[in-house]
Structure 1
Amino acid sequence: MATQGSPYLLQLIGHNIVLRADDEGRVSSKALADAIAASEADFESDVCRTTLAALSNRDVDFLVCMAQDERESRISVIAERMGVSADYAQKYRRRLIDAGVIEPVRRGYVRFAVPYLDAHLRTYDER
Protein backbone atom coordinates (compact mmCIF):
# COMPACT_ATOMS: atom_id res chain seq x y z
CA MET A 1 0.00 0.00 0.00
CA ALA A 2 2.89 2.36 0.69
CA THR A 3 3.92 2.41 -2.99
CA GLN A 4 0.45 3.32 -4.27
CA GLY A 5 1.40 1.55 -7.51
CA SER A 6 4.47 3.70 -8.18
CA PRO A 7 7.57 1.79 -9.38
CA TYR A 8 9.76 4.73 -8.37
CA LEU A 9 8.36 4.75 -4.84
CA LEU A 10 8.94 0.98 -4.64
CA GLN A 11 12.56 1.59 -5.62
CA LEU A 12 12.92 4.32 -2.97
CA ILE A 13 11.46 2.07 -0.27
CA GLY A 14 13.81 -0.77 -1.24
CA HIS A 15 16.79 1.59 -1.14
CA ASN A 16 15.82 2.97 2.26
CA ILE A 17 15.25 -0.52 3.67
CA VAL A 18 18.73 -1.58 2.58
CA LEU A 19 20.19 1.50 4.26
CA ARG A 20 18.48 0.56 7.54
CA ALA A 21 19.18 -3.19 7.55
CA ASP A 22 21.57 -4.54 10.16
CA ASP A 23 24.77 -6.43 9.25
CA GLU A 24 22.80 -9.67 8.79
CA GLY A 25 20.27 -7.97 6.51
CA ARG A 26 17.45 -7.91 9.08
CA VAL A 27 15.11 -4.95 9.31
CA SER A 28 13.15 -4.12 12.46
CA SER A 29 9.57 -2.89 12.36
CA LYS A 30 10.78 0.57 13.35
CA ALA A 31 13.45 0.55 10.63
CA LEU A 32 10.81 -0.46 8.09
CA ALA A 33 8.47 2.32 9.20
CA ASP A 34 11.37 4.79 9.06
CA ALA A 35 12.30 3.58 5.56
CA ILE A 36 8.74 4.08 4.32
CA ALA A 37 8.52 7.55 5.90
CA ALA A 38 11.86 8.58 4.39
CA SER A 39 10.78 7.24 1.00
CA GLU A 40 7.52 9.19 1.11
CA ALA A 41 9.46 12.37 1.94
CA ASP A 42 11.92 11.72 -0.90
CA PHE A 43 9.03 11.04 -3.29
CA GLU A 44 7.28 14.24 -2.30
CA SER A 45 10.47 16.19 -2.86
CA ASP A 46 11.45 14.47 -6.12
CA VAL A 47 8.05 13.96 -7.74
CA CYS A 48 5.37 16.11 -6.11
CA ARG A 49 7.34 19.36 -6.03
CA THR A 50 8.66 18.80 -9.55
CA THR A 51 5.15 18.06 -10.81
CA LEU A 52 3.74 21.21 -9.25
CA ALA A 53 6.64 23.36 -10.50
CA ALA A 54 5.73 22.46 -14.09
CA LEU A 55 2.10 23.63 -13.71
CA SER A 56 0.47 27.03 -13.92
CA ASN A 57 -0.79 28.72 -10.76
CA ARG A 58 -4.37 28.07 -11.86
CA ASP A 59 -3.60 24.37 -12.44
CA VAL A 60 -2.28 24.24 -8.87
CA ASP A 61 -5.38 26.08 -7.62
CA PHE A 62 -7.50 23.34 -9.21
CA LEU A 63 -5.41 20.66 -7.45
CA VAL A 64 -5.55 22.46 -4.09
CA CYS A 65 -9.35 22.54 -4.35
CA MET A 66 -9.33 18.89 -5.35
CA ALA A 67 -7.08 17.91 -2.41
CA GLN A 68 -9.86 18.86 0.01
CA ASP A 69 -11.59 15.60 -0.92
CA GLU A 70 -10.54 12.16 0.27
CA ARG A 71 -10.46 9.83 -2.74
CA GLU A 72 -12.14 11.46 -5.70
CA SER A 73 -13.47 14.89 -6.54
CA ARG A 74 -16.52 16.09 -8.40
CA ILE A 75 -15.72 18.68 -11.07
CA SER A 76 -18.73 20.85 -10.17
CA VAL A 77 -17.54 21.02 -6.54
CA ILE A 78 -14.00 21.92 -7.61
CA ALA A 79 -15.40 24.68 -9.83
CA GLU A 80 -17.44 26.00 -6.92
CA ARG A 81 -14.39 26.03 -4.66
CA MET A 82 -12.40 27.84 -7.35
CA GLY A 83 -15.21 30.35 -7.83
CA VAL A 84 -15.49 29.58 -11.55
CA SER A 85 -17.99 27.98 -13.92
CA ALA A 86 -17.95 24.23 -14.52
CA ASP A 87 -16.96 24.89 -18.16
CA TYR A 88 -13.96 26.91 -16.99
CA ALA A 89 -12.92 24.14 -14.57
CA GLN A 90 -13.19 21.60 -17.40
CA LYS A 91 -10.32 23.38 -19.18
CA TYR A 92 -8.03 22.70 -16.23
CA ARG A 93 -9.39 19.18 -15.79
CA ARG A 94 -8.38 18.38 -19.38
CA ARG A 95 -4.93 19.98 -19.01
CA LEU A 96 -4.21 18.04 -15.82
CA ILE A 97 -5.41 14.74 -17.30
CA ASP A 98 -3.23 15.32 -20.37
CA ALA A 99 -0.28 16.02 -18.05
CA GLY A 100 -0.89 12.75 -16.16
CA VAL A 101 -1.49 14.52 -12.84
CA ILE A 102 -5.13 13.48 -12.43
CA GLU A 103 -7.32 10.83 -14.00
CA PRO A 104 -11.05 10.47 -14.63
CA VAL A 105 -12.88 8.07 -12.33
CA ARG A 106 -16.31 8.27 -13.91
CA ARG A 107 -18.41 10.96 -15.49
CA GLY A 108 -17.88 14.22 -13.60
CA TYR A 109 -15.28 12.85 -11.16
CA VAL A 110 -11.48 12.82 -11.06
CA ARG A 111 -8.75 11.60 -8.70
CA PHE A 112 -5.04 12.17 -8.32
CA ALA A 113 -2.85 10.02 -10.57
CA VAL A 114 0.38 11.00 -8.77
CA PRO A 115 0.77 9.17 -5.44
CA TYR A 116 0.90 11.38 -2.34
CA LEU A 117 0.29 14.57 -4.32
CA ASP A 118 -3.02 15.15 -2.52
CA ALA A 119 -1.38 14.77 0.91
CA HIS A 120 1.49 16.98 -0.21
CA LEU A 121 -0.94 19.72 -1.25
CA ARG A 122 -2.73 19.52 2.10
CA THR A 123 0.45 20.12 4.09
CA TYR A 124 2.73 22.20 1.92
CA ASP A 125 1.97 25.47 0.16
CA GLU A 126 4.54 26.09 -2.57
CA ARG A 127 2.98 29.23 -4.03
Structure 2
Amino acid sequence: MTFEKASDINEQAPYDVIILPGGARGSETLRRSPAVGSILKRQEQNGGWIAAIGGGALSLRSHGIAIGKCLTTHRRIQDDLRDGGLHNVCNLRVCVDGNIITSQGPGTAFEFALTVVEKLVGPDGISDLRDDLALLNWG
Protein backbone atom coordinates (compact mmCIF):
# COMPACT_ATOMS: atom_id res chain seq x y z
CA MET A 1 0.00 0.00 0.00
CA THR A 2 1.40 3.43 -0.88
CA PHE A 3 0.25 6.81 0.32
CA GLU A 4 0.59 10.24 -1.23
CA LYS A 5 0.38 12.15 2.06
CA ALA A 6 0.05 11.55 5.79
CA SER A 7 -3.69 12.26 5.78
CA ASP A 8 -4.14 9.23 3.48
CA ILE A 9 -2.49 7.09 6.13
CA ASN A 10 -4.71 8.43 8.90
CA GLU A 11 -7.84 7.77 6.87
CA GLN A 12 -6.98 4.07 6.78
CA ALA A 13 -6.48 3.79 10.56
CA PRO A 14 -6.85 1.89 12.75
CA TYR A 15 -4.48 -0.76 11.50
CA ASP A 16 -4.01 -4.29 12.80
CA VAL A 17 -0.60 -3.15 14.05
CA ILE A 18 1.79 -0.28 13.52
CA ILE A 19 5.41 -1.38 13.79
CA LEU A 20 8.17 1.13 14.42
CA PRO A 21 11.65 0.03 13.37
CA GLY A 22 14.76 0.81 15.36
CA GLY A 23 18.11 2.10 14.27
CA ALA A 24 19.49 5.53 15.11
CA ARG A 25 18.72 7.42 11.93
CA GLY A 26 15.32 5.91 11.19
CA SER A 27 14.00 6.17 14.72
CA GLU A 28 15.13 9.81 14.91
CA THR A 29 13.12 10.55 11.75
CA LEU A 30 10.06 8.87 13.27
CA ARG A 31 10.47 10.82 16.53
CA ARG A 32 10.50 14.15 14.70
CA SER A 33 7.55 13.46 12.40
CA PRO A 34 4.22 15.07 13.35
CA ALA A 35 2.51 12.70 10.88
CA VAL A 36 3.89 9.67 12.75
CA GLY A 37 2.70 11.18 16.04
CA SER A 38 -0.78 11.69 14.64
CA ILE A 39 -0.98 8.13 13.32
CA LEU A 40 0.25 6.66 16.60
CA LYS A 41 -2.19 8.71 18.66
CA ARG A 42 -5.09 7.61 16.52
CA GLN A 43 -3.99 3.96 16.73
CA GLU A 44 -3.67 4.18 20.51
CA GLN A 45 -7.07 5.92 20.90
CA ASN A 46 -8.67 3.12 18.89
CA GLY A 47 -6.99 0.44 21.03
CA GLY A 48 -4.94 -0.88 18.11
CA TRP A 49 -1.63 -2.66 18.48
CA ILE A 50 1.57 -0.60 18.40
CA ALA A 51 4.94 -2.34 18.30
CA ALA A 52 8.46 -0.92 18.42
CA ILE A 53 11.85 -2.60 18.23
CA GLY A 54 15.02 -1.05 19.65
CA GLY A 55 15.18 2.71 19.15
CA GLY A 56 11.64 2.71 17.77
CA ALA A 57 10.45 2.84 21.39
CA LEU A 58 11.83 6.37 21.66
CA SER A 59 9.18 7.42 19.14
CA LEU A 60 6.54 6.36 21.65
CA ARG A 61 8.08 8.67 24.25
CA SER A 62 8.47 11.55 21.80
CA HIS A 63 4.84 11.40 20.74
CA GLY A 64 3.34 10.80 24.21
CA ILE A 65 2.24 7.24 23.46
CA ALA A 66 1.99 4.42 26.05
CA ILE A 67 2.22 6.75 29.06
CA GLY A 68 2.62 4.75 32.27
CA LYS A 69 3.22 1.48 30.45
CA CYS A 70 6.23 -0.80 30.66
CA LEU A 71 8.52 -0.62 27.64
CA THR A 72 11.86 -2.11 26.72
CA THR A 73 14.52 -0.94 24.33
CA HIS A 74 18.21 -1.44 23.63
CA ARG A 75 20.21 -1.22 26.84
CA ARG A 76 22.30 1.69 25.50
CA ILE A 77 19.25 3.94 25.18
CA GLN A 78 17.16 2.85 28.16
CA ASP A 79 18.05 6.06 29.99
CA ASP A 80 16.70 8.07 27.05
CA LEU A 81 13.41 6.19 27.36
CA ARG A 82 13.28 6.83 31.12
CA ASP A 83 13.79 10.57 30.59
CA GLY A 84 10.73 12.39 31.84
CA GLY A 85 9.49 9.45 33.90
CA LEU A 86 6.47 8.82 31.68
CA HIS A 87 7.25 5.16 31.03
CA ASN A 88 8.38 2.21 33.09
CA VAL A 89 11.46 0.63 31.55
CA CYS A 90 11.94 -3.10 31.93
CA ASN A 91 14.85 -5.38 31.03
CA LEU A 92 12.76 -8.03 29.28
CA ARG A 93 13.81 -9.00 25.77
CA VAL A 94 10.22 -8.44 24.57
CA CYS A 95 7.67 -6.59 26.68
CA VAL A 96 3.90 -6.53 26.19
CA ASP A 97 1.83 -4.04 28.17
CA GLY A 98 -1.74 -3.69 27.01
CA ASN A 99 -1.71 -2.92 23.29
CA ILE A 100 2.01 -2.01 23.25
CA ILE A 101 4.77 -4.45 22.25
CA THR A 102 8.42 -3.42 22.55
CA SER A 103 11.66 -5.28 22.02
CA GLN A 104 15.31 -4.58 22.81
CA GLY A 105 16.68 -4.69 19.28
CA PRO A 106 18.08 -6.90 16.51
CA GLY A 107 18.98 -9.77 18.86
CA THR A 108 15.34 -10.09 19.84
CA ALA A 109 13.85 -9.67 16.35
CA PHE A 110 12.48 -13.22 16.06
CA GLU A 111 10.86 -13.11 19.51
CA PHE A 112 9.47 -9.68 18.69
CA ALA A 113 8.01 -10.83 15.36
CA LEU A 114 6.50 -13.96 16.87
CA THR A 115 4.95 -11.94 19.68
CA VAL A 116 3.38 -9.52 17.19
CA VAL A 117 1.97 -12.39 15.12
CA GLU A 118 0.70 -14.16 18.22
CA LYS A 119 -1.17 -11.04 19.37
CA LEU A 120 -2.78 -10.73 15.95
CA VAL A 121 -3.78 -14.37 15.38
CA GLY A 122 -3.77 -15.89 18.87
CA PRO A 123 -1.61 -18.58 20.47
CA ASP A 124 -3.15 -21.42 18.47
CA GLY A 125 -2.46 -19.69 15.18
CA ILE A 126 1.23 -19.33 15.93
CA SER A 127 2.09 -22.84 17.12
CA ASP A 128 2.71 -24.12 13.57
CA LEU A 129 4.93 -21.14 12.83
CA ARG A 130 6.98 -21.76 15.97
CA ASP A 131 7.35 -25.44 15.01
CA ASP A 132 8.43 -24.53 11.48
CA LEU A 133 11.04 -22.08 12.79
CA ALA A 134 12.38 -24.70 15.19
CA LEU A 135 12.98 -27.02 12.22
CA LEU A 136 15.06 -24.50 10.28
CA ASN A 137 18.74 -25.29 9.96
CA TRP A 138 20.48 -22.11 11.13
CA GLY A 139 23.99 -23.53 10.60
* TM-score above 0.5: no
Per the shorter chain, which TM-score range? under 0.3
- Which structure has the highest helix share of the two? 1
TM-score, normalisation: structure 1: 0.26
1 or 2 for the larger relative contact order (CA 8 Å, sep ≥6)? 1
Largest Rg, 1 or 2:
1
TM-score, normalization: structure 2?
0.25
Normalized per residue, the structure richer in strand is 2
